[in-house]
Structure formats: C-alpha cells, structure tokens
Structure 1
Amino acid sequence: MTVGFVLLCHQSLGRAAQVAAHLAERDCPVVVHVDTRVSAADRGAFAEKLKGLANVRVISRQACEWGTWSIVQATLDAAGVMLRDFPGVGHVFLASGSCLPLRPVQALRDYLGQRPDTDFIESVTTEDVGWTVGGLDIERFTLRFPVSWRKHRRLFDTYVRLQRRVGFRRRIPQAITPHLGSQWWCLTRDTLAAILEADDRPEIDRYFRRVWIPDESYFQTLARRYARRIESRSLTLSKFDVHGRPHLFYDDHLQLLRRSDCFVARKIWPGAGALYTAFLSDDPGQGAHGEPNPGKIDRLFAKATERRVKGRTGLYMQSRFPRPDRVNARTAAPYAVLQGLDVLFADFEGWLSRLTGSRVHGRLFGAERAAFAGGEQVFNGGLSDSPILRDYNPQAFLANLIWNTRGERQIFQFAPQDNLAILPFVATDPQAYMAVVSGAWAIPLAMQAVRPDADFVALRREAALLQRQETEALDLLSQPTSKARLRHWSLVEFLERAQDHLQLVVDEISPGTARRLTDMPQMVDLTPLPQFLQALRNEGMQPVLAGDLGDLEALIQGGEKRGRLRVAK
C-alpha cells in the first residue's frame, strides 16, 4: 500500500506542478483540484507539465471561496477520484498547492505503513478549542452562514447579529458530534471511503453547507464517526498569526523546517527557491528524522508572536509605536532615580559611580541642562543636553537614553524643581527604582539663608513651592497604578540610620552584589537647617516633609558629637 496526495491549488501553479511531479515520480498517486477561477490557459499549462505522469489526475470542478462549502466539495471530488482510480492507496494526504514535503516520500510511506489503521487528523470538540479566531465556536454549527465573510463582511455580520437577536438555532444532526481541527489531514482509505459512501451523506452535506469554515469541521467531525484509531494531530506543519492568517515560510527558515521533523509544511512562499531545491530531492540526509514534532518550534513562534504584538521592551519606533496599555515596561532596562541624596552628600555622584560601576548622572531633568555624567553635552544616541530639546518630549528622551545604554545601569538625580512631566512616565514603569529623601530640598535653601544678602521672603516662597511639588510627586508615586519600586524616607528618618538606608539603596540599585559600605560619603553641613526650618514655621509654613524639627536638631548635634555623621566643613 502507498500514500496518495490530494492537492488543492488556486495559485502559483508552477510550484504546485513541481511538488506534484516530485510525489508522482516516487510512486505516490496525486489528484490535483485546480480552482475553476484559474484561467483556462493556466490550467492547460499546468496539466501539460504533468501530462507524462500516469498516476496524476487533474480536475477542475469548484470555484473555491475561503470559509465556504466549496473547499469541502473540492476535497470530496478529488478524494473520490483518488479512491476510484488508485486502489493501491492506503492513506490519503490532503495538502495545498503551497505545501512542500519536508521529508523523503519513502519516510512517510514507511511511517504510515507501521500505522495502517491510524487516521491523522486534528479533531477536538468546540469546548476544547482555544485557537479559533473570529469569535465563533459552537455558533459555527448552530447559525446559518449563507454568504461569504470575505466578500460581504457587513452582510455576514448583520445576519449573524439578527440570528442571535431572534434566538435562531439550527438543529445539529443526531448522528454527529461537532469537532474542529486543522484542514490538513491524512486519512486511511477505509475512513475516507466510509465518509464518501455514507447513506446519510446527502443530509450531512446539506447541513454542513451552511456551517462557517466547514473545511475545519466536516472531516474532523465525520472521522470521529468512522475511524478505528485517531491521532488528533496533523502531519503538516502550519502556523498562524494572531489574526488567524497562516505564516509564510521563506528561504531563511530552512533549518527551522528541518528541526520540525514534520512531513509537509505550509505555507511556502513561491519565491523560496532554496526551500524547493533542498526538500524536493533524494538527499539521504533528509531521512534522518524522528517522530513529527512541530512543538520543537512552537516556542520560537510564540516568542516571535509576542515580539510582534508587544514589541521589544522599551523600543519606540515609527513602524510600531506601543500603546501604553499594551506594554510590559516603558523602558528597555532597569534604572534608578534618586531624589535628595545629591544635596545631602558631597560628591555623591562620583562616590556612587565608583562604588557601583554604574553610570551616575546629575539632574537629567534640571531647568538649566540635562546633566549627563562627566559633563558631556551629547550622550549616547545623539541625545543633547539642551533642555529645550529634552522637554519637547521628556518621555522619549528618557526612553532613548535607557535604550541606547542597554547593558549599563543608568542612575540619575531628581529634585522637586525639575521637569515634573517625566514623573507619570517613571511612576508607571516597572523598570524604574526611586529612592526619595523628602524635605532634602531645604538643605541648599538653608545654606542660602545664612548669607548676609539672603532674601528670606523669596526663600520662603520657593520652599512652599518645592514642598507642594514634592507632595504632588509623592502622591503620584504612591498611586495603585504606580509600577515603579519606591523607597521613601523623610529627612529625619533617613538621618536616624543614614548608613543603613544608604546601604539599602546601593543593594537595590546593584542586586546580587554584596557591597558593604566601609567608606561613607561626606555629609554636607546641616547645622543651618534646623534654624531655617524653624524660621519657615515661624512665618506660617509647615515643612512637614522633612520630619520632626526637634528630632532633626537632636540628630545633627548628637551625630556630630558622636562622630556618626561625617560632615564636610
């Protein structure tokens, strides 16, 4: 017994003839159904190419339309010719004109010879199907679909809605239980003959004529009725995208197709000459395969689909600009935003850079310029330190900076007086880490207040503005929708255990590295701060973000006496 092939063709007839000849020359009967919409000249040229092959039949009886009964009728017509003209066929393999054998014909013949009573057809109940695209599962069988979805989509959708509204339901014949599966199957002669010769076939065919996409349910349902043994899988490798359209295989998929161990693949690009040359041959190396296992490449396709739908994390480009609700992260890599530490410690950026090996910037969103590390004016990716260019789109500025420095963690300083438009972006980015010492903005103001020419009214006004802006920023970062990791201390809380808190920041910025702080950065002179905060309070402003004023004064005085706070004089 041998295996026969039924090919459904409607385009790229040159490639289809090449595949049909390859199969026929290796003693596999082939019946080709050519769509009647193909021109008579093209059909004649196709038949002429196969004229000398006695085990090839070419028929043209149906104008096949996707999703309609015509595809099933064309398959039934070709299968009838196969069973009538080739009694030596034990299995019938359904394929399309864009399919390509991936393994030698003899390997398929041997495989089926060891399983003479097995039908290979994906066949699952509607409750178990998770791959249907279009919103119709059981309704494929209970509604009527008299018009083409592709040609008359609006009429199709209107008629479906009307049937749902009036509660219309078709009666499913008692003799069958609807099943779904891939269109491409390999059935035994006995099963196929039983389907074609069934006494109630006119009734079954009449029912399936109004089922949507019957080529994915007709044989899948009837095989359950007649088969002795079914393996619910296809021997054909076919992959579909998120819209339900088949993937095309090109020349650069050669090694991928070989790894699948499947016997046939669809859909092959007609111009993939390297694939046709490689697989339509008798190369002995093509026979070294195991059990067909398309699952080997499922993971690769899943990753490709995810990348196509979601894109690469943090990548923004003209051809695919991600929607905010469809991205895992706003930026391409983890980064840290530190607020208050640069004013609390002298040369904090240099100290942190030496300790962690990370790129530590100044205030990237400061009013005067983007303070890149090392004082650079142009950074990776051509990013300028111009605040005008940066503030035109601060979110894109940060996303580009992180994308262009992948592999190196970026750390930058922030302050309440910086461009706050970036904070909603940072707050919703799971790649972001923020450490905030609230109230630290008062330290440089306190240093200005001790100058003889200080304008305290202006300083008080600026302090009120900074506290209000920092309060709004903390509220934003604390929202349930915030995805950034936040560490927040008031100035007093931080000073109570400055080394421990700084150690925590370093550990979270550089996870996996056990760096114990043996050399703390020098803290700036904080002695004017309590007096300045008290003066603000006396003028009617409550500097609540810094913490309790009495505790702050005790910490500064006690810390200096015991040497707990290293203060730069």
Structure 2
Amino acid sequence: MVDVSLTYLVLAHNSTERVARLVDQLLAQDLSGRVIIHFDKKSGEAPYRWLCERYHSQARCYILPQRAYCGWGQWSLVDATLRMLRHAQSTCKTDYYYLMSEYCYPTQSLSALKSYLVANKGTNFIECEDSRWIKGGIREDRYLYRHFLNKRNYPRLHRWTYKVQKWLGLKRKVPQDLTIRFGSQWWCLTQEAVAYVLEQEPIYRSFFKWVWIPDECFLQTFIYKKEFKNLSKPLTYYTFSSTGEAATFSTVSGSYPGFFFLRKLK
C-alpha cells in the first residue's frame, strides 16, 4: 500500500491537558507519524516539564527545549513554527508537515487523512489570498508599517505607534520580488515547500519581523512566490466572526467534508 510520511507540528501555549488530548490521538492513530511540540516559554517550566515527562519514552514525539516567548500577532509565532520545521529538517524529513495548535482535534481518522494525501500527493494545502481574506481591522497596513508591540498587552500604545508612523509618512516598501498573500496559518505543506520557505526566510526576516500577524502572511507569501502548481484549501476547518475573532467549538459534532481537523475545540 502506498503511504505518505507525516510530521505534525503542534503550537502549544498553556494547557497541558489540551496538548495531551491532541498528541495522544496523533500518536495512537498514525503509527508512523512524528509529532514535534513547541510549548510557549511564557507558560513556565512546570507544565513544560510535565509534557517532557509524559512523552519522554515516546520516540516519535519531540518537545523542543529551545522555546520562544510567544505573543499573539507577533513574529514569535512564526519563529516557533520555524524552530519546529528546522528540527524536522535536521532529524527526519517527511513527505508532509501539518501545523496545528493545541486547540485542534481530528474530525476524521488519520488514516483517512493519509489516504487523502496519497491521492493528492504533491499538493500544498494552504491559502494564498489577497488582503480581502482579512475579515476585520487593518489590511495592507499590517505590513506597510512596523508593529513593535503586543496589541493585547499594550492596545493603546500599539495603536499610537501605528498612527504616528502614518502621520510621519513612514510607510515601508515591500521587497520588489514579493507579493504579500494571506491565509490561515493551519496548513499542510510538502517537503519541497518547507525546504523552499526555510531557504527564503533569512533573506526576508527583517521585513516580516515587524509585520502585524505575520503567521497569516509569511509562509503564504513564499508559497505564492514560488508558484507551486498544486495548491488547495487547508485541511483544518475554522471560521471567523465579522470582526476576525476565531470561533470556538465545545464538541466535535456534525460533518466537515474535506476537512480532517477542527479549530478551535475548547
């Protein structure tokens, strides 16, 4: 039987119970799959050690020891993702890499997911849309101005620094060879796509480091730039409110045709 190898990348932030709920399913359902976890450094050492102890004997699960302090809407989320991808590249490359958060949960069996990937091998499952994809708030100004601060921690100061830049005319130039594209950060990418992104990242890091919510445009822009032939919608079901807030679900119920994970499950 033809198969694909798969690495699941888990961005985890604060709940060891949610992380274990997801990771246990990944390891049990995909007996050849690998799991790499980045656990937000700001959540402290005790929960991190708990996860390390829980999975220390599981050879297919690796928890990154070098962790980033993650801030919503900031480069640190991309940094954490890149750390997982680099570790995967240096240890055991696989056909596909599937990024998810601790809030994700399977809606179908992972054998169904792998069969789907076999049938669509070579396809990258990621959105590469123009700025109309954004539901609320600023659009092009996400990248045309520098966003230094965490908006949730410093909402007024975050907005003030943005307005001052506009008033002073400090608009940035987009690198000439880039067309910024947007989409959900919960993608599933081929080895070829991941290798290309990691090759490009050092060149453009200084530009993306101060973009607002770079996880929704960083990889999307490079996949668009490379012009991969086969692109398709993400395999994780999500929905936003009219103001751009991610909806939450209390249970995995109902049918989600064409999707294999749900986000976000409480």
Q: 1:7 to 1:227 in 2, by over 3 A?
A: farther
Superposed CA offset, 1:112-150 (max 9, x none): 112221111011122xx153311x111112111111111
CA distance in 1, matches of 2:167, 2:85: 40
Partner of 1:203: 203
CA contact (8 A) 2:107 2:256 kept: no
The one-letter code matched in structure 2 to 1:171 is: K
CA distance in 1, matches of 2:249, 2:42: 26
Does 1:249 pair with 2:249?
A: yes
CA distance in 2, matches of 1:124, 1:63: 29
Does 1:102 pair with 2:107?
A: yes
Question: How many pairs were matched up?
Answer: 260
Q: Aligned-pair distance for 1:65?
A: 0.3
TM-score by length of 1: 0.44
Task: Point out where structure 1 has 5 or more consecutive residues left out of the alignment.
Answer: 270-569
Does 1:63 pair with 2:65?
A: no
Does 1:16 pair with 2:22?
A: no
Partner of 1:263: 260
Q: 1:124 to 1:83 in 2, by over 3 A?
A: same
CA contact (8 A) 1:13 1:46 kept: yes
Task: Point out where structure 2 has 5 or more consecutive residues left out of the alignment.
Answer: none
Q: 2:178 pairs with 168, 176, 183, which one? A: 176
Q: Aligned-pair distance for 1:32?
A: 0.4
Partner of 2:6: 3
Superposed CA offset, 1:333-368 (max 9, x none): xxxxxxxxxxxxxxxxxxxxxxxxxxxxxxxxxxxx
CA distance in 1, matches of 2:89, 2:227: 17
CA distance in 1, matches of 2:176, 2:54: 46
- Greater helix fraction, Structure 1 or Structure 2: 1
CA distance in 1, matches of 2:89, 2:62: 12
Partner of 1:386: none
Does 1:54 pair with 2:51?
A: no
The one-letter code matched in structure 2 to 1:241 is: S
Q: Aligned-pair distance for 1:177?
A: 0.7
Does 1:29 pair with 2:34?
A: yes
CA contact (8 A) 2:105 2:263 kept: yes
Q: 1:189 pairs with 188, 191, 199, which one? A: 191
TM-score by length of 2: 0.92
Structure 1 residues 54-63 or 213-222, which shifts more? Answer: 54-63
The one-letter code matched in structure 2 to 1:79 is: L
CA contact (8 A) 2:237 2:256 kept: no
CA distance in 2, matches of 1:230, 1:165: 42
RMSD over aligned CA atoms reads: 1.6
Q: Aligned-pair distance for 1:227?
A: 5.1
Identity of aligned residues (%): 29
Q: Which is greater in Rg?
A: 1
CA distance in 2, matches of 1:41, 1:86: 29
Partner of 2:128: 123
SS in 2 for 1:179: coil
Q: Aligned-pair distance for 1:243?
A: 2.9
CA contact (8 A) 2:249 2:264 kept: yes
The one-letter code matched in structure 1 to 2:9 is: V
SS in 1 for 2:160: helix
Q: Aligned-pair distance for 1:107?
A: 1.0
CA contact (8 A) 2:147 2:210 kept: yes
CA distance in 2, matches of 1:100, 1:32: 15
CA distance in 2, matches of 1:179, 1:204: 14
The one-letter code matched in structure 1 to 2:106 is: P
In the TM superposition, 1:151-300 aligns within 5 A as: 151-198=153-200, 201-226=201-226, 228-251=228-251, 254=253, 256=254, 258-269=255-266
